[in-house]
Amino acid sequence: MLALTSHAYRPGVMTELSERTKANMDVVLEQTCRQLPHGGDHDSRRFIAERLIEAAESGHCTLGELGIVARRALAELIGKGG
Helix/strand/coil (H/E/C) assignment for every residue in 13-43 = EEEECCHHHHHHHHHHHHHHHCCCHHHCCHH
User: Residue 36: its pLDDT value, please?
Assistant: 94
Angstrom distance (rounded) from CA 20 to CA 76 = 26
Q: Phi and psi for 19 in degrees, rounded to 5?
A: -60, -40
User: Residue 82: its pLDDT value, please?
Assistant: 57
Local structure of residue 10 (DSSP, 8 states): E
Over the stretch 1-34, which tens digit does the pLDDT of each residue have?
554 444 444 454 446 899 999 999 999 999 999 9
Over the stretch 31-69, which tens digit does the pLDDT of each residue have?
999 999 999 999 999 999 999 999 999 999 999 999 999
48 to each of 15, 67, how far by Cα in Å?
19, 11
- The pLDDT mean for the chain works out to 86
User: Residue 8: its pLDDT value, please?
Assistant: 47
